[in-house]
Amino acid sequence: MSMLALPESECQEILALFRETLPHVPADWLEELAANYGQDAIKDIDPNDVIAILSVPGQLHRIQISLAQDQSQTEIHRSIHEKLIARGVEPRRVIASLLTIQNSSGKMEDIGEFIGLIIGDCVNIREQGWGWYQTQPLCNSALKINRIIVSL
């Protein structure tokens, strides 16, 4: 679903909801997730779905990647796996996943391919969500991926 940026007051309401329902999630993660609703979105995720995903019992991990747009979806996916393995997380043991992509020039088909790769990582397909937000990147080809996962 495409949506326009929410006003700051509504982002603050979402943040308050996140803080109330997700006390186990670091405050800076919640602040960033709530702030995303203040940006235009090609695809967004309902705050209640964020709560459901991040409420799944398990260990929380956050992977952030900034990449050039010309990297293949497979290379990006491999980079995420390498970061998980470096933290001692087996990529196939992901039980919940929240993915945000911040980009101003990505193609829906490329993002769709990437989402397909990420879906393949998650043991429980219902416990995942993603958002794609339009931002003003540092350069026109910047791609920022933020993934929060819950692992066994």
For residue 135, the model assigns a pLDDT of 57
Helix axes 8-21, 47-54, angle to 10 degrees: 20
For residue 69, the model assigns a pLDDT of 60
84, 91 contact by CB (below 8 A): yes
pTM: 0.82
For residue 141, the model assigns a pLDDT of 43
For residue 20, the model assigns a pLDDT of 98
Mean pLDDT by 10 residues, the chain (152 residues): 82 97 95 89 86 90 76 82 88 83 67 76 70 53 66 65
